[in-house]
Amino acid sequence: MSKYKQRFGYGLGDFACNLIWQVISLYLLYFYTDIMKLDATAIAAMFVVCRVIDGVTDLLVGFAIDKTRTRWGKSRPWFLFGAVPFALAAFLAFSVPNISPGGKLAYAYVTYIFLSFMYTVVNIPLASILPALTDDMNERTVLATWRKFLAFLGSTIVSATALTLVELVGRGNEGLGFRVVMGIFGVIGCLCFFLTFALVRETNLQESTKSATLNMVMI
């Protein structure tokens, strides 16, 4: 396999993560408070609770990667099987139903916890897989650079286009606009994760195991 294919494929994984997660980071709080009219204090408390839960799920996913044994490797299957649930979780986060305020808050809790978990599922393997892709330290540096560049590109695309697209497709209905845009970015993200799965290969699984364990300790 061409090194350039693997570099591009590896970078696409973080492009997908940032294409979806940047929308969450920039606009989900606004969506909750200004569009869905949820209480800002309650949402702030929800974010704190979810961060605590994240600390636990990060460890669990790291351990699960360590125990993964498939013909595709240890980390690659997580891109394949985590892509669609991650995109679906993001879409659901911007699809709060028109129910009571308490019901909306409960829905926000469930979908945001699910979303954060799925982000962990697809993001931690991006770090743990790197040592398994090559034993050449220079090539690892190049791969990490491709990852950072495409991650930045994904974030930039969201920052530059998301609100314009929301206005364009929503036609005055921001709730609908965010839902459709998140769906579009989710589909693109899924395709990118599938390409990551197809273009990278794990050749040093022992180093992959060490990396997954190290990432659990550092999180």
> What pLDDT does 98 receive?
83
> What pLDDT does 205 receive?
56
| 164 vs 27: CA distance, rounded Å | 13
> What pLDDT does 96 receive?
83
> What pLDDT does 213 receive?
47
> What pLDDT does 70 receive?
87
> What pLDDT does 41 receive?
94
Judged on CB neighbours under 10 Å (0-12, 13-18, 19+), 88 is middle
Give tens-digit pLDDT for 181-198: 999 999 999 999 999 999
Give tens-digit pLDDT for 3-45: 899 999 999 999 999 999 999 999 999 999 999 999 999 999 9
Domains belonging to the chain, first-starting first, are 3-218 (1.20.1250.20)
Q: How far apart are the first and last CA of the chain?
A: 32
The stretches in the chain having pLDDT less than 70 are: 1, 204-219
Helix segments in 94-173, DSSP class H: 101-128, 130-133, 137-170
Instruction: Answer yes or no: are the C-beta atoms of 123 and 129 closer than 8 Å.
Output: no
Judged on CB neighbours under 10 Å (0-12, 13-18, 19+), 51 is exposed
| 33 vs 92: CA distance, rounded Å | 16
For the full predicted model, state whether its pTM sits above 0.75: yes
